[in-house]
Amino acid sequence: MVKQLIFSAVLLITLGVFGYTLSRLYGFFRLTRPFPVSNWGQRISLTLKVAIGQTKILRFPVIGFLHALVFWGFMVITLGSIEMVIDGITGLERSMSATGWFYDFVMASGDIMAYVIMLSIIVFLIRRLFMNINRFYGIEMQKKSKIDAIIALTIIFFLMVSLAGINLTYILKNPGEYEGIYPISAILSPYFNRNIYSINFLHELSWWSHILLIFAFANILPYSKHFHVFTSVPNVFLSRLEPLGHLPNMENVTKEVKLMMNPETAFAPAPIGENPPSRFGVKDVEDVTWKNYLDSLACTECGRCTSVCPANLTGKKLSPRKIFIDLRARMKAKGPGLIKDKSFDDGKSLIRDYISTEELWACTTCNACAMECPININHPTLILDMRRYLVMEESAIPASIATMLQNIQNNGAPWQYPADDRLKWAEGL
């Protein structure tokens, strides 16, 4: 009974802190613009393929496969964690064992994956600490990002150690009479001392260590780059479904053009009391869509987008990863002020103070970054919206682009020659 009371108290504290975090994030999401969601069937299919099947990450045969194993392992182990919560509240042991063969499958998979994940985490830590992987570095990758990654990997490692300890001591204290199947723990159990007092102590130590690490990790994740543990699958489900080369029109511009093209409304005065036109493009965090902000929270900072960006590879400042790290940082800085006062202005903006115009104009909209992203973040869409703001609100355009736009306006084409002169080059052929 004492164990149940302690567990219930810890669970309530965990849920309370997590609930506060979610309410804070919900407040930030409410500051953003709408993003329409439809085609549910297509989204489910995409999620099963990209998120559950890990098809994009598996393009990297070795490290991608290890990452996929960690993901699949966590899916199975989460079911065991649910059982631990039920056991902790009710005082039962192995409360889900009544599910029979399914329970055997989950326990066997979890036992195997605990050791697989441990080995994978060791590989990941070696890569982080001792190997010079180019995509782990960049102007946006501060020292705290590396520390954050190491802390998260270490917690995951000890989560698996404690899970292995739970399974091993459970077998040792119930020889031949335990629920479920534990392939690796059953092989290792003969090599351990069967002193019942030490086994019971180690079992309780492993059980409490595992569940407390889960509770702590759940509340650490939203404040770290590993928040993608929660957000990556929803982010894939909410992916932009249009082809990568599709550049969406701006609804407010389309509306204005239709009004201008309609003889009945072209010269009509604006209705009294009508709201002024919304901002064209994106200047700051309140101009992005909620999907843009979700992208920033889901970003794993893996750097695969930047590693294939042709602008970055040729020495330009643009790093697609930085765009979303900066968006996340900007919302963290300005969001609390906007929640208190919608007109809050700290004298800064996402453009220039966080992302330079040089970075934005370096993008070729080739979509290599969006193609490579394992969780389907679409970087060019946000970059394009920020460029639209520069062009349509500030007329801040590189000279070469300004000339092209002027030619389109005057000649109907990007070239400086009028339409009547376009075929002069062919005279005499």
Q: How confident is the model at residue 277 (pLDDT cuts 50, 70, 90)?
A: low
Helical spans, DSSP H, in 138-250: 143-173, 183-188, 196-220, 228-237
Task: Tell me what pLDDT residue 266 has.
Answer: 66
The CATH code of domain 251-268+277-411 reads 1.10.1060.10
Mean pLDDT confidence for 191-216: 89
The sign of the CA dihedral 405, 406, 408, 414 is: negative
For helices 196-220 and 63-90, give the axis angle rounded to 10 degrees: 110
Task: Tell me what pLDDT residue 102 has.
Answer: 93
Count other C-beta atoms under 10 Å from residue 134's C-beta: 9
| 32 in Cβ contact with 286 (< 8 Å) | yes
Task: Specify the range with the lowest mean pLDDT, choosing from 79-93, 254-268, 304-318.
Answer: 254-268
CB neighbours of 109 closer than 8 A, spacing ≥ 6? 73, 76
CA dist 347 and 248 (Å) reads 30
For helices 101-130 and 63-90, give the axis angle rounded to 10 degrees: 130
Mean pLDDT confidence for 192-218: 89
For residue 155, which amino acid is it? I
198, 203, 193, 191: which is closest to 165 by C-alpha?
203
SS3 per-residue string spanning 26-43? HHHHCCCECCCCCCHHHH
- If one compares 44 and 191, the residue with the highest pLDDT of the two is 44
Neighbouring-strand partners of residue 355 = 351
Helices and strands, counts by H and E, the chain = 18, 0
Task: Tell me what pLDDT residue 402 has.
Answer: 87
- If one compares 184 and 266, the residue with the highest pLDDT of the two is 184
How far is Cα of residue 310 from the mean position of the Cα atoms in its chain? Answer: 23
CA dist 332 and 323 (Å) reads 14
Q: How far is CA 369 from CA 132, 283, 312, 376, 382, in A?
A: 22, 22, 11, 9, 12
Q: How confident is the model at residue 270 (pLDDT cuts 50, 70, 90)?
A: low
Q: Does position 181 have pLDDT exceeding 70, yes or no?
A: yes
pLDDT digits (tens, 9 = 90+) for 371-394: 999 999 999 999 999 999 999 899
Mean pLDDT confidence for 78-103: 90
For helices 379-392 and 320-340, give the axis angle rounded to 10 degrees: 70
132, 104, 211: which is closest to 166 by C-alpha?
211
Phi and psi of 174, rounded to 5°? -130, 60
Q: Does position 1 have pLDDT exceeding 80, yes or no?
A: no
Task: Specify the range with the lowest mean pLDDT, choosing from 48-62, 133-147, 161-175, 232-246.
Answer: 133-147
| 135 in Cβ contact with 302 (< 8 Å) | yes
Phi and psi of 289, rounded to 5°? -85, 165
CA dist 288 and 34 (Å) reads 9
Q: Does position 428 have pLDDT exceeding 60, yes or no?
A: yes
How far is Cα of residue 206 from the mean position of the Cα atoms in its chain? Answer: 31
Task: Tell me what pLDDT residue 93 has.
Answer: 86
Q: Which 3 state secondary structure label does DSSP give 55?
A: coil
Helical spans, DSSP H, in 289-378: 290-298, 304-308, 310-313, 320-340, 350-353, 357-362, 368-372
| 215 in Cβ contact with 21 (< 8 Å) | no
Task: Tell me what pLDDT residue 272 has.
Answer: 60
Task: Specify the range with the lowest mean pLDDT, choosing from 15-29, 274-288, 374-388.
Answer: 274-288
Q: How confident is the model at residue 111 (pLDDT cuts 50, 70, 90)?
A: very high
CA dist 327 and 142 (Å) reads 15
